[in-house]
Amino acid sequence: MKFTNLLGEIASLVVEVLSELGAFTLFCVLFAIVLLTIPIWIYRKIVKVENDTLYLDNGIELEIWPNEGCEGCSSGWYYLTELNDCDNAITNVEFICENSEDSEYETSYKIFVFAENKTIKILQVDGSDGNGYYGSGYSIIVREKGGEG
């Protein structure tokens, strides 16, 4: 089993087991899983951005999937609002979640990378949890070059 598939399987199992423990606990576990993706980015360059996918210089593809919420209301819907490249080696990654009362959306998830003494916003996903029953945020699907995920 490939490492990326194994990580996905572990993440699915952890979410299934902990879903009964409450939203905050689940958020903490998911945040820890996100931290496991940091090695994928370190010392890599983002050489191409196409639609909702980032292409790294080693052939890894990172496809961004914003959460799809309720089909009958606006709860849980998130939208990819920014996706950028980085033509220098990434030396650190920072994941940020901000709540805003001033914008159209109440929650904004962002990924910043550090390269060449600069901070670069790579990704921004905005949306609203609404009533909280339909999810939040986004997923990153990791594919090896020519792989199916």
What are the extents of the domains in the chain? 37-143
Cβ 86 vs Cβ 115: under 8 Å: yes
Quote the CA–CA distance of 147 and 149 in Å, as a whole number.
Answer: 6
Structure tokens at 89: 């080696």
Q: Can you give the pLDDT at residue 3?
A: 46
- 23-29 long-range Cβ contacts below 8 angstroms, 24+ apart: 23/132
Average of per-residue pLDDT across 74-103: 88
pLDDT digits (tens, 9 = 90+) for 96-145: 888 877 666 788 999 999 998 899 999 999 999 888 888 888 988 888 87
How much is the pTM? Answer: 0.71
Residue 54: in which H helix or E strand, if any? Answer: strand 53-56
Record the tokens describing residue 60, joined without a space.
Answer: 């890894």
Q: Are 32 and 18 in contact (CB under 8 A)?
A: no
